[in-house]
Amino acid sequence: MTQMPDTRTPLRIGTRGSALALAQAHETRDRLMAAHGLPAEAFVIVPIKTTGDRVQDRALSEIGGKGLFTREIEDALLSGEIDIAVHSMKDMPVAQPGGLLIDCYLPREDVRDAFVSPHVDGIADLPQGAVVGSSSLRRRAQLLSRRPDLHLVEFRGNVQTRLRKLADGVAVASFLAMAGLSRLGMVHVARSAVSPEDMLPAVAQGCIGVERRAADARAAMLLSAINHADSTLRVVAERAFLARLDGSCQTPIAGLAELQGDRLRLRGEILRPDGTEVIAGERVGPASDGAAMGDDLAAELRTRAPADFFDWS
Ligand SMILES: NCc1[nH]cc(CCC(=O)O)c1CC(=O)O
């Protein structure tokens, strides 16, 4: 039985229901409409609630980390309830379930973290001993490595919730991804953008990826027209780096690949959660070698890490 691309049945686009997720789904739909000259009616956006959306009171790392925002959406792909799924690649496990794949990445947004504070301009301006809100293992560890004097408190919820906590004085500053703020039209919420030299972003931060059933020829055809080659090269390198380190979701990991002409520069680091140790390295090579570079850099950092580095229990 051959599968002919069907252009009459609307393509069902699965997404989380958050404002950011919906904005990402709409961006994907708009790019598909433009690339194929299709009307909005050719698509249906299907919001799906995930475990990660339901749990608001605990650190994500405590309840299982990556995968919490994707499992239900991947189940819907596998069962045929949706045809494609739009994800923040930062939240995606390195491997997809059998039968699914991600080979479409949109042009990448700002990769940097945003420094958010009503009074303070940036990390260097934080008063001695200041209280900072973040539930991100990576941001907490990176911050403590530079500023061991700071006190970290858990901070979750949407942008409004965080701004209210800051206004209430729960913390003097917090961090978000510039990409999320930008996609929500809320860049003004950032007091400043943190340079990757000061805080290396999470692997794939700012990148939207679109997942599909491996055997779905129509989805493959539609998505191939909106894949962004540069984003793909970068995210493939970063995720190869992550894949070799991912044994423990308790290890803070950061990674960023940047294109310099036809060369790729990949930086990566792993940290102790309390920031007392940072192991960092980089690779520069042909852009087409990203996966090998990521794997190789991760192997180097693993070798340099002390025996107890990956064991926090
Ligand atoms: N961990 C949640 C998450 N996943 C992706 C983004 C932002 C958008 C992106 O990086 O693509 C965020 C929020 C944040 O870190 O502020």
E strand intervals along 48-147 = 84-88, 100-105, 113-116, 131-133
Predicted confidence pLDDT, tens digits, the chain (313 residues): 444 556 579 999 999 999 999 999 999 999 999 999 999 999 999 999 887 777 665 555 555 566 777 889 999 999 999 999 999 999 999 999 999 999 999 999 999 999 999 999 999 999 999 999 999 999 999 999 999 999 999 998 889 999 999 999 999 999 999 999 999 999 999 999 999 999 999 999 999 999 999 999 999 999 999 999 999 999 999 999 999 997 656 789 999 999 999 999 999 999 999 999 999 999 999 999 999 999 999 999 999 999 888 875 4
For residue 3, being part of any structural domain is answered with no
Cα 210 to ligand 1 centre (Å): 16
Amino acid letter, 139: R
For residue 37, being part of any structural domain is answered with yes
Is 49 found in the same domain as 121? no
For residue 17, being part of any structural domain is answered with yes
Show the ligand 1 pocket: residues with CB < 6 angstroms: 88, 90-91, 176-177, 179-180, 205-206
CA-based nearest residue to 177, from 161, 165, 194: 194
CA-based nearest residue to 38, from 189, 221, 285, 222: 222
Is 56 found in the same domain as 98? yes
Q: How many domains does the chain have?
A: 3
What's the domain range around 178? 113-194
Is 78 found in the same domain as 125? no
Give CA torsion, residues 283, 285, 287, 291, to 10 deg: -50
Residue whose CA is closest, atom 1 of ligand 1?
A: 91
Is 122 found in the same domain as 243? no
Complex ipTM value: 0.95
CATH number at residue 120: 3.40.190.10
Is 214 found in the same domain as 93? yes
Is 214 found in the same domain as 76? yes
- What pLDDT, on a 0 to 100 scale, did the predictor assign at position 1? 45
Q: Rounded to the nearest 5 degrees, what angle is found at the Cα of 259, between the Cα atoms of 256 and 264?
A: 75
